[in-house]
Structure 1
């Protein structure tokens, strides 16, 4: 029972995963469609609209007028699982879903600007079919983090700006997986569901420098965020003289920290039409070495009391992701964008799970911005994401010497299409 609870709690702890968003690990990039068109290559050095509040809060001071930016991005993933070790590996693992965002920004005077952003930095929605061979490792996962960020930006001089914004982060999630009753004095399968939530606090800070009339450099720091998730575990369907004793609800909690990241980029305007963007992002995934879970209130049977602290190794490593992109000003009304990104996975084959079956990614993007007048801009973007094959090999879990959560192995070949649209209105 220890190992069963560990599986569901582990998934909740890293429930900020968007299995096939435009970011890797537990990151999600769907906070700006104008940035999506260049694969976010110039995220820290480009000021397109109020969504710069997330990309680099220093950029708010470069917005000359008050404005509202809002939109959403949708991701349609295709998941193929080869060489699976169980009866079926099919299923709609990542249902079609939308990720919204909204920002407001306004100058206060010639040097100060302020803004407010509401966005989703982390999200997960995966749903395997009931007969999925890895259902004992993970069947359904629905988790999201919503962030509210007030921000202040200050223009030090004509070339240097800085910005800072505290973040209020709400995490909540629901996770479901199964337990094999037949292994322990019963028949059928036990359903294990967990719900939990918490508030976490962090900050984003940035600097933007116009090195010359044509070259801009930016640097953004996204802080770590500490969570203590509190919730309940519900176990149902257990039968037989042993498993039926675990049916019921139990309190659970765990500590978890999302890692800090540093995003830097440069944007160079060759002329009034062409601008080149290049960026790199460092993420300290090595914070995720293990997850420690506490269970409270489960019964003590056969001398076992599975409420002590338990842990599972992740052994994630730090990563650098890279992107390059370009924008072309066709005329005063239209701008065209494209980009390419390389985004490595922090997970290794030995520790990859069915809830997070991600590999190294290549991302190609196209985008456009249309301004019918000086007050309104509509941005659209399309992205195609392709991953290297990602192997999953999870061993079985035992209780009283019996395999209650059979192991699963397979190779995931993943791809996804992303589409985004946003509108900016200035006043």
Structure 2
């Protein structure tokens, strides 16, 4: 790292330092939340067993509120269903290079539970209502304090929690429709280090960002029984516009700058819409096949606009804004699965899914260094009586090698490049009670 260049840049003015670090750090936040690695599929253990291949064309339980709200018309009794998913993620880092020394231990994703819960009830033979609570997006990582790439991102905790009231109506014996608004709570906390030690008694500057917003969206579904053995479904998850408000907190900055403190910050983010479609076919009383695909309109996200209220020493509360291109591309993911009714009480499931990353190497972030994703799942459902079903699913996920190449754009964020090989073991459990 060229410390003379950094010292000259910092000495120009407090405003130069603030604009080139605080705002670029906020933009690092936006890079970290827009990729397949943020999308959380675990809203159901019964669906996870087949890699969610038939999510929009089968209504196994009340979790159809997320998979296809029209499926509520298939549930003839009231249901309460809920569960949790946990993942053990492994990150292998190789060929790491950068402008600062440090370690590359990897494995920086802590184990975190992902809960979900649903309630549904039929109002009449053709009309049903329900309520779902689930996590459609999430990201957690916490690297070691000496991580070589810490200047591009050292800590992330991003989650979206959604509450979805739902109504479904059966138009005739073949066609059902359903939908409802989504109330989405977005919470984010991130941290970056800045390489200011050369003129700060060896002390790096720390920048922490937090932001929250609650925004509305909607989900719509159509379910069609093509014949007694085959059903087709399609589900639309709308885009959601977030206008996050929070703070940027600066600590341990060089004393001559006087930048330590808390600043108001704003960040506008749109999580794009997606369309999920699938076919479910019952080959016989025991065997069922599922085939599905999901399109996500990531190309809607071409750039991110950020604003930071720069109110440190030498700045009278000016509002700085910056936009950065992201160059996302639309993606198609696909899944195939099957189930086997072993006994009246036991059903066995398996599936395979492929989910590509929307980002190119030039856009990939240290916070979310994901590649094209493959997953294999196994699952089982056990119904000791007609009122209770317990579902369990296991999944192994692995990704193609993902390259990260981040430049020193601000002067105090040393460049970092590396290759990431990611994999994970996941377990999802769920219990459904009918009454």
TM range (shorter): over 0.9
Question: Are 2:372 and 1:360 aligned?
Answer: yes
Quick one: distance in 2 between partners of 1:75 and 1:214? 35
CA shift, 1:300, in A, is 6.2
Q: Who is 1:290 aligned against?
A: 303
CA shift, 1:192, in A, is 0.5
Q: Who is 2:49 aligned against?
A: 37
Question: TM-score normalised to the size of structure 2?
Answer: 0.92
2:147 to 113, 132, 138: 132
Q: Who is 1:102 aligned against?
A: 117
CA shift, 1:25, in A, is 4.3
CA shift, 1:183, in A, is 5.2
Quick one: distance in 2 between partners of 1:14 and 1:182? 26
CA deviation vs aligned residue, 1:212-269 (integer Å, no higher than 9, x gap) = 1111000000000001000011100112423xx1110000001110000000000010
Quick one: distance in 1 between partners of 2:169 and 2:199? 64
CA shift, 1:397, in A, is 2.5
Q: Who is 1:170 aligned against?
A: 185
SS of aligned partner of 1:89: coil
CA deviation vs aligned residue, 1:147-199 (integer Å, no higher than 9, x gap) = 00000000001110000110000011111110111355663200100111000
Distance 1:325 1:404, change over 3 A: same
Distance 1:183 1:284, change over 3 A: farther
Question: Are 2:192 and 1:180 aligned?
Answer: no
Question: TM-score normalised to the size of structure 1?
Answer: 0.94
Question: Is the contact between residue 31 and residue 365 of structure 2 (CA under 8 Å) also seen in structure 1?
Answer: no
Question: Are 2:418 and 1:421 aligned?
Answer: no
Q: Who is 1:261 aligned against?
A: 274
Distance 1:14 1:146, change over 3 A: farther
Question: Is the contact between residue 267 and residue 278 of structure 1 (CA under 8 Å) also seen in structure 2?
Answer: yes
Quick one: distance in 2 between partners of 1:426 and 1:105? 10
Question: Are 2:77 and 1:77 aligned?
Answer: no
Question: Is the contact between residue 8 and residue 175 of structure 1 (CA under 8 Å) also seen in structure 2?
Answer: no
Quick one: distance in 2 between partners of 1:297 and 1:201? 30
SS of aligned partner of 1:35: helix
Quick one: distance in 2 between partners of 1:305 and 1:412? 40
Structure 1: gaps (5+ residues):
none
Task: Name whichever of 110-119 and 185-194 sits farther off.
Answer: 185-194
SS of aligned partner of 1:49: coil
CA deviation vs aligned residue, 1:250-295 (integer Å, no higher than 9, x gap) = 0000111000000000001000000000000000011221111101
Quick one: distance in 1 between partners of 2:362 and 2:51? 30
Distance 1:370 1:185, change over 3 A: closer
2:68 to 56, 71, 74: 56
2:333 to 308, 321, 328: 321
1:3 to 7, 11, 20: 20
Question: Is the contact between residue 74 and residue 96 of structure 1 (CA under 8 Å) also seen in structure 2?
Answer: yes
Q: Who is 1:204 aligned against?
A: 219
Quick one: distance in 1 between partners of 2:304 and 2:330? 17
Q: Who is 1:249 aligned against?
A: 262
CA shift, 1:373, in A, is 0.2
Quick one: distance in 1 between partners of 2:396 and 2:380? 16
Question: Is the contact between residue 87 and residue 425 of structure 2 (CA under 8 Å) also seen in structure 1?
Answer: yes
Quick one: distance in 2 between partners of 1:165 and 1:241? 54
Tell me how large the CA RMSD over aligned residues is.
1.7
Task: Name whichever of 85-94 and 43-52 sits farther off.
Answer: 85-94
